[in-house]
């Protein structure tokens, strides 16, 4: 895997982790009392958080990941 893909994956992971931690703290969740519905909300929010880096990676005009424009 080239360094550009690794950088993109790092962005996805950091965005996902940041929003997951934010939702966990903001909801006041107790680590011993996590419900399936909580996890569903956190995962959905995390997936939403990775959309901006994915859009940046797919946009040929955005040189963030070294893509060359058409």
Q: What are phi and psi of 18, to 5 degrees?
A: -65, -45
pLDDT digits (tens, 9 = 90+) for 3-55: 767 877 888 888 888 888 887 788 776 777 777 877 788 788 888 877 887 78
pTM here?
0.60
Six token digits for residue 42:
């956190």
Six token digits for residue 70:
């058409």
For 4, how many CA atoms within 13 A lie in the half-sphere containing its CB?
10
Q: How many domains does the chain have?
A: 1
Residue 44's pLDDT is 84
Residue 4's pLDDT is 67
69 pLDDT exceeds 60?
Answer: no
Q: Whose CA is closest to 19, among 62, 55, 49, 39?
A: 49
Residue 68's pLDDT is 62
Question: 37 is in which domain, residue-wise?
Answer: 3-65
Q: Whose CA is closest to 63, among 1, 2, 7?
A: 7
Residue 1's pLDDT is 65
34 in a structural domain: yes
70 in a structural domain: no
């Amino acid at each position: 895997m080239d360094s550009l893909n690794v950088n993109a994956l790092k962005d996805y992971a950091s965005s996902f982790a940041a929003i997951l931690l934010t939702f966990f703290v903001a909801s006041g969740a107790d680590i011993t009392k996590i419900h399936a519905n909580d996890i569903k909300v956190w995962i959905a929010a995390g997936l939403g958080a990775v959309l901006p880096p994915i859009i940046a990676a797919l946009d040929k005009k955005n040189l963030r990941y070294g893509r060359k424009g058409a």
